[in-house]
Amino acid sequence: MAPRDIPADSASPQRRRRRRWLRWTLGGLGALVVVLIAGILIYTQVGVMGAEPGPLAEAEQNPGLTITDGGAGLVLSPTAGATGQGLVFIPGAKVEAEGYIATLADTVVDDGVTVVITRPWLNLAFFDPRPLSTFTDLAPDVTTWAVGGHSLGGVRACQLATDAAALVLFASYCANDLSASGLPVLSLSGSEDGLSTPQKIADAKDELPADATFVEIPGASHASFGAYGPQPGDGTPTADPAEVDRAIAEELAGFLPRP
């Protein structure tokens, strides 16, 4: 009598157990990935800081300032007297681009600099892999570009800096080494900053070229470099916001490279 064919599964209980273990493992990993992605998406959308209505309205009503939404970023252009200078500005974590319009308005209106304030993916520059050209292409008439950013946006600006003519850090510091880049660098910070503290700025100094310029604005806090309201963990500012904006504009006017 010919032997009966025995199904492989019935003859291999260990194989069935391995298959079940593999299904459970893959299912568990898939569920973990879904939870992780959902958590990231929720985190990036909760607590996003928008512009303070008063300063934003005042800037929008300034006849010397033209604001255009280019999708990837806001383009702030001088109504007259453009110099061909440009600054790509990357916002801090979970701060809307509009939160920096009032802060940078003096630089645009008084000094003729075109500023592109980027809109980072998921409100976090860390997740935005787009090159600098994505933003400089929004203002094709500009011939000389600097890149800068506030807080986490400054960290991202450091990564893009070699594609620009200069780097500006606004209450920020680099996590990559630019010490041998030869790049002109301006570091603006605040004496009352509770997040990018003066000590943190000093500790990261070696990542920048030896001739980098460091300017600490007296009385400025972390949130003083924007107009989006107070920020958890920050120090208490003692400087008037208009004075900080003016100090920022004056430092940029003397630093930004010309065509």
What was the pLDDT predicted at 44? 47
- Give per-residue pLDDT as tens, 223-232: 999 999 999 9
Residue 247 Rama label (left phi>0; alpha psi -120 to 50; beta): alpha
- Give per-residue pLDDT as tens, 165-207: 999 999 999 999 999 999 999 999 999 999 999 999 999 999 9
Which percentage of the chain shows pLDDT scores above 70? 86
pTM of the model: 0.85
Q: How far is 87 from 104, CA to CA, in rounded Å? A: 10
- For the chain, which ranges sit under pLDDT 50? 1-2, 6, 8, 38-39, 41, 43-44
* Residue 158 three-state SS: helix
Which residues make beta-bridge pairs with 217? 190
Sheet order of strands, 185-190 included: 65-69, 73-78, 114-118, 85-90, 144-150, 166-170, 185-190, 213-217
Distance from chain centroid for Cα 84: 23
